[in-house]
Chains A and B, each alone.
Chain A
Amino acid sequence: MQHALSRLLIPTTPTLLSILALSGLELILRLRGMGYDTLGPLLLFGIVFSSVFVDGIQGYYTAFGISLVSALLASSEEQGAVRIFGLTTLGVTFCIARLKYLRYKAILQSERAEVLYRLSRDLTRRNGKLALLYSAATILRKEVPDTLDFYLVEGNQILKLHGTELKPVDEHLRTLPDWVCRTGEAAGRGTETLSGADALFLPLGTDQHRFGALSVQFRDPSDYYDQDKRKVYETIAKQIGEALERDQEAVNGFQTNLAQEGEKLRSSLLRSLSHDLRTPLTGIQGSIELLKMKLGEGDTPENHELLESVSEELGWLLRMMDNILSLTRFESERVILRKESEPVEDVVGSAVRVLSKRLATHPIEIRLPDSILMVPMESALIEQVLVNLLDNAAKYSDPHTPIEIEVKVEGDMAVFSVSDRGRGIALEDLGRVFEKFERGKPEEIRGIRGTGLGLSICKAIIEAHGGTIQAIPREGGGTIFRFTLPLEVETNG
């Protein structure tokens, strides 16, 4: 209710000022007419001064008081007009005073909010150490007559507790807290070490971990040599130290936990993301196909082309998603392969079938051993490797140049190779192509889209199978991607 009223009572400042000026002027003129030559300007000055220059709640009272007097004076003259102006001024002043009061309250509140915000921010940033020190300081300062200060040593920094904040201390004040924290022994006034200091410094921490120092300035100087009093502070410092240590352990545990949880979350997120993405993409792909069927032959070639490029982009998106999915699997878990003995022609054939649309413009030559070659593998993954290599070959070579797939046996290894007649890879880049997000030189890849993930996933998959993968420049131009897979299943599992 009060709030609503105060809102009603506060017009904007310019309006207020003009009302004030006009009514003030009017008042002066009227009062002059009545012989009050000095009272008018004085009143006006008082009102303006109090409402503009007196800060906070006092401004409210002052302005209110002055305008009340002016109204009373005016009314005692029994001059209707002057009374009205006096009352107007009273109202205006009231408004201004109220405005000032509200602003004052808002500032107060925002300052408090700021303090709270800073405290919570620091609390999280300092992992709770600040909170511990702050509450210890608040409690102790209430209970003991001596002056206490708290220091934290963090790496090279020495921080001192000021209110709710930790601030780095000046260079010349570093020595004592630093020494105390490093050695774990008391120093400063009343001790053998640096006894010229103005306070006693005690280590803040346990026998295992020290976090900083507690300094004590006794109110009674003779207390510096009172061993019982020092003992009390030593116990306090140790207790705070224990709390700090528990906090540290909790934080460490939390962070390890967080890392593990984060990893789990990340992979499950990516997995469900890829599922959630695939579903709408299926809808899109299907709708495009239906559109194509509906457009029929009669439509403009441009429209067909547009649809064609949409579906090509879709294909790219889907392949990328498969790669991201595999990458998360290989990065987030200790990968356990589900290996089975598979005939190589099965995977080769399947990979070629998956990419048949994309490979349509390239003659594909496949050379397999005459006898059936069984290789232990997780077939879906090896298929993915072949899909990536074939996709790459198609991407980086001109249409109608052949792409060759060969599988043969060398010793106890099956050797797969995918060769193209593309632009090849520069010698100095050959070693790097399998690194994540590595994609050749910018001028070489212009207009060709990739994630730079494909080959790094191939490498991860092949190495998980106990094989190797390499890129070899091909005689007469082009590149050979060659990978090996062991023919025997390792018996040690």
Chain B
Amino acid sequence: MDNAPLILIIEDERHIRNFLRSALKTQSYRVLEAEKGREGLSLAASYVPDVVLLDLGLPDMDGIEVIKELRVWFTAPILILSARGQERDKIAALDAGADDYLTKPFGVGELLARIRVALRNRARREVTEGGGTVFAVGGLKVDLEARRVFVDDEEVHLTPIEFKLLTVLVKNAGKVVTHMHLLREVWGPASVDQLHYVRIYMAGLRKKLEKDPARPRYLLTEVGVGYRLADE
């Protein structure tokens, strides 16, 4: 029980906290709660949680500030809770060091899936730092070392850029990756005004990997923010 992951909720709405706590308890996670940003920061410093769930609209300080202050020393995943229509806030939060977000309203399933991803990424990051991996989800198999990709056991040939894109997504599997992040990783920091590259190459990648590109199974679009590689 004591080894169960510790999750810190920083959210000012009592009812949301209640719901989050009940949902997290179903998975036997340990839960810490803070109503305010300051309180959250000091709880994080004393308990070092495995995941932080952070509401962007806190009464005492800006959520982005909380992320920045946490990221000075804190390496575990931070998940943002935010509303639809706040795509810019989400991007800003992700740029500031958040790992992913949940758009209100979200369901229990979605919440737990994101937490699982966050915990898994953490484990993966620790165990396989620099090591080779084969990533597999559904019929998609990506061998990063051998640079080979299979869909339903059939090999798919990708261009170098497509493969690089897929690699970034695989490394962040289950997490949202912003357009800007992909652009920087794949094309380098000099090409920041070429955002449409990302979309065009993603569309190409999708055509090769998805049976029905309009209803993707693996490469999911987060409208206005970026892409997410499904990992469940």
- Whether B105 contacts A293 by the Cβ 8 Å rule is no
The yes or no answer to A353 lying at the interface (CB within 8 A) is yes
- Whether A368 contacts B213 by the Cβ 8 Å rule is yes
The yes or no answer to B20 lying at the interface (CB within 8 A) is yes
Instruction: Please report the total number of A residues contacting B with Cβ < 8 Å.
Output: 41
Interchain nearest-CB distance for B165 vs A (Å)? 14
Closest to B11 in A: A279
Please measure, in the bound complex, the distance between the C-alpha atom of A352 and the C-alpha atom of B202, giving whole angstroms. 19
The yes or no answer to A438 lying at the interface (CB within 8 A) is no
The yes or no answer to A250 lying at the interface (CB within 8 A) is no
Knowing A275-B57, A290-B22, the reply to whether A346 touches B199 (Cβ < 8 A) is yes
Knowing A278-B83, A286-B23, A372-B203, the reply to whether A346 touches B16 (Cβ < 8 A) is no
Residues of A within 8 A of B105 (CB): 278, 281-282, 285-286, 314, 318
Residues of A within 8 A of B220 (CB): 353
- Whether B202 contacts A368 by the Cβ 8 Å rule is no
- Whether B214 contacts A368 by the Cβ 8 Å rule is yes
Residues of A within 8 A of B146 (CB): none
- Whether A286 contacts B223 by the Cβ 8 Å rule is no
- Per-position 1/0 for B197-232, Cβ under 8 A of A: 001101110110000111110001111100000000
Please measure, in the bound complex, the distance between the C-alpha atom of A280 and the C-alpha atom of B105, giving whole angstroms. 9
Closest to A342 in B: B199
Residues of B within 8 A of A340 (CB): 195-196, 199
Residues of B within 8 A of A350 (CB): 221-223
The yes or no answer to A80 lying at the interface (CB within 8 A) is no
The yes or no answer to A87 lying at the interface (CB within 8 A) is no
Residues of B within 8 A of A380 (CB): 85, 87, 223-224
- Whether A293 contacts B108 by the Cβ 8 Å rule is yes
The yes or no answer to B47 lying at the interface (CB within 8 A) is no
- Whether A282 contacts B57 by the Cβ 8 Å rule is no
The yes or no answer to A366 lying at the interface (CB within 8 A) is yes
Q: Which of A250-275 contact B (CB under 8 A)?
A: 274-275
- Whether B214 contacts A366 by the Cβ 8 Å rule is yes
- Whether B216 contacts A372 by the Cβ 8 Å rule is no
Closest to A271 in B: B85
The yes or no answer to A348 lying at the interface (CB within 8 A) is yes
Knowing A283-B15, A283-B18, A349-B214, the reply to whether A289 touches B108 (Cβ < 8 A) is yes
A278 CB contact (under 8 Å) in B18, B104, B202, B203: B104
Q: Which of A126-171 contact B (CB under 8 A)?
A: none
- Whether A343 contacts B216 by the Cβ 8 Å rule is no
- Per-position 1/0 for A293-336, Cβ under 8 A of B: 10000000000000000000010001000100100000000000
B221 CB contact (under 8 Å) in A314, A346, A364: A346
Please measure, in the bound complex, the distance between the C-alpha atom of A392 and the C-alpha atom of B226, giving whole angstroms. 28
Interchain nearest-CB distance for B10 vs A (Å)? 14
- Whether A290 contacts B214 by the Cβ 8 Å rule is no
A345 CB contact (under 8 Å) in B19, B83, B213: B213
Please measure, in the bound complex, the distance between the C-alpha atom of A278 and the C-alpha atom of B103, giving whole angstroms. 10
- Whether A346 contacts B223 by the Cβ 8 Å rule is yes
Which size bracket describes the interface of B in this complex?
A: 35 or more
Q: Which of B75-120 contact A (CB under 8 A)?
A: 83-85, 87, 104-109, 111
- Per-position 1/0 for B170-203, Cβ under 8 A of A: 0000000000000000000000000110011011
Please measure, in the bound complex, the distance between the C-alpha atom of A419 and the C-alpha atom of B183, giving whole angstroms. 37
Residues of B within 8 A of A318 (CB): 105
Residues of B within 8 A of A286 (CB): 16, 19-20, 23, 105-108, 111
Residues of A within 8 A of B212 (CB): 366
Residues of B within 8 A of A348 (CB): 214
Closest to A275 in B: B83
A343 CB contact (under 8 Å) in B16, B22, B111, B203: B203
- Per-position 1/0 for A353-380, Cβ under 8 A of B: 1000000000010101000101000111
B104 CB contact (under 8 Å) in A279, A346, A366: A279
- Whether B200 contacts A343 by the Cβ 8 Å rule is yes
Closest to B207 in A: A372
Interchain nearest-CB distance for B56 vs A (Å)? 10
Residues of B within 8 A of A353 (CB): 215, 220
Please measure, in the bound complex, the distance between the C-alpha atom of A148 and the C-alpha atom of B223, giving whole angstroms. 73
- Whether B107 contacts A349 by the Cβ 8 Å rule is no
Residues of B within 8 A of A368 (CB): 213-214
Residues of A within 8 A of B111 (CB): 286
- Whether A283 contacts B19 by the Cβ 8 Å rule is yes
The yes or no answer to A178 lying at the interface (CB within 8 A) is no
Please measure, in the bound complex, the distance between the C-alpha atom of A275 and the C-alpha atom of B82, giving whole angstroms. 9
Residues of B within 8 A of A275 (CB): 57, 83
The yes or no answer to B26 lying at the interface (CB within 8 A) is yes
Of the listed residues A282, A283, A284, A347, the one surrounded by the most CB atoms of chain B closer than 10 A to its CB is A282
Residues of A within 8 A of B204 (CB): 372
- Whether A289 contacts B214 by the Cβ 8 Å rule is no
Please measure, in the bound complex, the distance between the C-alpha atom of A121 and the C-alpha atom of B200, giving whole angstroms. 66
Residues of A within 8 A of B216 (CB): 349
- Whether B224 contacts A379 by the Cβ 8 Å rule is yes
Residues of B within 8 A of A274 (CB): 83
- Whether A345 contacts B214 by the Cβ 8 Å rule is yes
Interchain nearest-CB distance for A168 vs B (Å)? 53
Residues of A within 8 A of B65 (CB): none
Please measure, in the bound complex, the distance between the C-alpha atom of A284 and the C-alpha atom of B16, giving whole angstroms. 8
6 sample A-B contacts, Cβ–Cβ < 8 Å, listed by A number: A278-B83, A278-B84, A282-B16, A286-B108, A289-B109, A341-B199
Query: What residues make up the interface of B, taking CB atoms closer than 8 Å to A?
Result: 13, 15-16, 18-20, 22-23, 26, 57, 83-85, 87, 104-109, 111, 195-196, 199-200, 202-204, 206-207, 212-216, 220-224
A278-B84, A290-B22 known; 4 new pairs, CB 8 Å cut-off, are A286-B111, A343-B200, A346-B221, A368-B213
Query: What residues make up the interface of A, taking CB atoms closer than 8 Å to B?
Result: 274-275, 278-287, 289-290, 293, 314, 318, 322, 325, 340-343, 345-350, 352-353, 364, 366, 368, 372, 374, 378-380, 383, 405
